[in-house]
Amino acid sequence: MTPSVIELPVTEDDRRIARYTAAAIALTVAEAALPSPLPGIKPGLANIIVLVVLLRYGWRDAAWVSLLRVVAGSLVIGQLFAPGFFLALAGAVSSLAALFLAAQLPRRWFGAVTISLLAAFAHIGGQLVLARLWLVPHDGVFYLAPLFATAALIFGTINGLIAAHLIMQVETI
């Protein structure tokens, strides 16, 4: 009996997604070291990578990077299957839905900042809904919504600007 070799062909797409995901994971880990005034309020720097991937390679690649980032990122910082992991996942899934819709907007009028803001609001929306349904079964969680919305506004704008900057740099190289 000859040992069978299972070969998993790696495409150029796979390599590209893996590299971007690695960059997103690095940002997740760096961000985990930052102090936060309130649990859940984070700049979400990894989303800059997701935005760049969305605008350059489309939604499918962005979804891979975003979801792989959540799973591998929480593995690295020791949060896998902790409540924070599910909150991150809920945020990622709902912001991917927003990214899908936002990517349909005419590029002529709407740039990275719009997409980033919509994703940021969807992100906190998804997290609040999950938190309300599962972690804090009380309407009190919505009391925090304005703070999260403020964070989404600020970081969504900044991340969008950074993504726009990165993309413009890439395209002029």
Partner 1 sequence: MKAVLPDDLREIFSKAGYSGSWHKYLKVGDWLVLFLSCALVVLSYTLLWRGGVADRAIVKRDGQTIIEISLNSASKTRVVGPLGTTVIEVQPGRVRVFSDPGPRQYCVQQGWLTRAGAVAICAPNHITLELNGRGEASYDSLGY
In 100-151, DSSP assigns E strands to none
| Binding-site string for partner 1 from residue 89 to residue 128, where x marks contact by CB under 8 A and - marks none | ----------------xx-xxxxxxx--xx--x-------
Inter-residue long-range contacts of 98-103, CB under 8 Å, 24+ positions, other chains counted: 98/122, 98/123, 99/50, 99/54, 99/59, 99/62, 99/63, 100/59, 103/54, 103/58, 103/59
DSSP annotation of 2: P
Residue number with CB closer to partner 1 (43 or 156): 156
| Shortest reach from residue 110's CB to partner 1, in Å | 4
For the four alpha carbons of 94, 95, 99 and 102, in that order, the dihedral sign comes to: positive
For the four alpha carbons of 92, 98, 104 and 109, in that order, the dihedral sign comes to: negative
Q: Which one of 58, 82, 138, 165 is in contact with partner 1 (CB under 8 A)?
A: 165
DSSP annotation of 58: -
| Shortest reach from residue 61's CB to partner 1, in Å | 11
Our finding on whether 22 is near partner 1 (CB under 8 A) is yes
Residue number with CB closer to partner 1 (93 or 166): 166
* Chain residues that interact with partner 1, rule: CB under 8 A: 16, 19-20, 22-23, 26, 52, 105-106, 108-114, 117-118, 121, 142-143, 145-146, 149-150, 153, 156-157, 160-161, 164-166, 168-170, 173
